[in-house]
Amino acid sequence: MAIQLKDSSVSIKNLDPSIITILPEIQSVFDFFGAHTVITSGNEQSAHHMSGSLHYEGKALDLRDRTIHPAHRKLAAEMLRFKLGPDYDIVLESDHIHLEFDPKVKP
């Protein structure tokens, strides 16, 4: 299944390469669960994210997870953590999965 955007308000223009390169990995996790991959927030400037959010730098995505069976949401987040490694934070929110590129060792 292809990655979709929630609607036309979601922007993925000028995403950081750290996010672009992991899209196939994200897709593979959602495919494993037979779920649709839907990006609900990218780097749109009009969204209401916290000050300093990595969304504004193009280094974060929010993913709809309601197409993953509720019993498998935690496992899906763990699979993303494993596949993407320690430079990516995966946060299982109440209504989506937040994913961001946030290396702990800065160059």
The pLDDT tens digits of the residues spanning 64-75 come to 999 999 999 999
Helix (H) or strand (E) holding 61: strand 60-64
Structure tokens at 100: 């961001």
Q: Name residues of the chain where pLDDT drops below 50.
A: none
pTM of the model: 0.88
Distance CA 88, CA 76 (A): 14
CATH of span 4-101: 3.30.1380.10
Q: Where are the domains of the chain?
A: 4-101
What does the pLDDT read at residue 47? 61
